[in-house]
Amino acid sequence: MYNFEFEKPSSIADAVAALGGDEAQALGGGQTLIPTLKQRLASRTTLISLSNIPEMQGICTGDDGALCIGGATTHGAVASGAGAYPGLAALAGHIGDPAVRNRGTIGGSLANNDPSACYPAAALASGATLVTNTREIASDDYFLGMFETALEEGEIITEVRFPIPEVSHYEKFVQPASRFALVGVMVAKFADGVRVAITGASEEGVFRWTEVEAALSANFSPDALDGLTLDADNMIGDLHGSKEYRAHLCGVIAKRAVVKAA
């Protein structure tokens, strides 16, 4: 790991100011960034820790009934504190392992947008709003591809607002070595329709499976998925699973998610 300066501001305003420096990088829980720096896949002159900013911590319920989670809230805190949205709490409680969940943060995960991470599926399937230091971004406009997001340089996710569905479930087919999703499907049923987001499968990162959303909105049962398939062309193919395998798995895991959500 190349060396860097370390700063730990105590407010969003101070963090944003510090991130204005040349080659500065925000540090969430570091559960992806530190391994990346160790491998010298990245190097930065300054890391700005977001771990000591009280206004980015914790979980609350907004006036509109949405669950608001501070950007620096750990997966462990979401697992134990997001009881108002059980599908989300369960998802958070199965990320990585217990020690990783005590450090990793929701804002860090969403800012990184790993194509196999769990939180992007939750945010997209929930129709969440990502609140940054400058604006609010709808999840439909946020995820731009593998490791790409709508965030500008130096922009911080300060809060994520999740509308709470009537029922939901996140089903993860675990890649056992990394504990990331080989395929993960989040199904969220709202009064005005069903949203389905898939992580782990596509070269484009997390995506909504709109045909399945329409089918489930009309008939919320696993049978509604019969005959619906995804094109394997855009799937990730690697030593853990071929493109065709992942495309097939999306349907299987989506059905399981519906069974458990219903």
Strands 67-70 and 157-162: antiparallel
Question: Buried b vs exposed e over 68-99: b needs ≥16 C-beta within 10 Å?
Answer: bbbbbbbbbbbbebbeebebbbbbbebbbeee
**Choices 29-37, 130-138, 180-188, 196-204 (CB under 8 A): range interacting with another protein:** 29-37
CA–centroid distance for 195 within its chain: 15
| Distance of alpha carbon 33 from alpha carbon 41, whole angstroms | 10
**Choices 3-11, 140-148, 161-169, 246-254 (CB under 8 A): range interacting with another protein:** 3-11
**Residue 96 interacting with another protein (CB under 8 A):** yes
Cβ atoms of residues 156 and 50 within 8 Å: yes
| Distance of alpha carbon 37 from alpha carbon 6, whole angstroms | 14
**Residue 90 interacting with another protein (CB under 8 A):** no
**Residue 4 interacting with another protein (CB under 8 A):** yes
Identity of the residue, 78 or 216, whose beta carbon is nearer to another protein in the bound complex: 78
CB-count burial class (<10 Å; 0-12, 13-18, 19+) for 31 = buried
Q: Of 15, 28, 49, 91, which one interacts with another protein (CB under 8 A)?
A: 49
**Residue 99 interacting with another protein (CB under 8 A):** yes
Identity of the residue, 27 or 183, whose beta carbon is nearer to another protein in the bound complex: 27
**Residue 25 interacting with another protein (CB under 8 A):** no
**Residue 240 interacting with another protein (CB under 8 A):** no
**Residue 2 interacting with another protein (CB under 8 A):** yes
Min CB(257)–another protein separation in Å: 20
Min CB(202)–another protein separation in Å: 25
> Looking at residue 133, what DSSP letter applies?
S
Token code pair at residue 67: 């669950």
Cβ atoms of residues 156 and 107 within 8 Å: yes
Q: Of 10, 13, 23, 35, which one interacts with another protein (CB under 8 A)?
A: 35
Residue type, 260: K
C-alpha torsion angle, residues 114, 118, 119, 123 (rounded to 10) = 100
- Applying the rule CB under 8 A, the residues between 146 and 205 that interact with another protein are 177, 179
Q: Of 17, 84, 89, 100, which one interacts with another protein (CB under 8 A)?
A: 100
Q: Of 18, 19, 37, 128, which one interacts with another protein (CB under 8 A)?
A: 37
What's the length of the chain? Answer: 262
Min CB(21)–another protein separation in Å: 13
Q: Of 70, 71, 76, 222, which one interacts with another protein (CB under 8 A)?
A: 76
Which residues sit at the interface with another protein, rule CB under 8 A? 1-6, 8, 27, 30-31, 34-35, 37-38, 46-47, 49, 51, 76, 96-100, 102-103, 177, 179
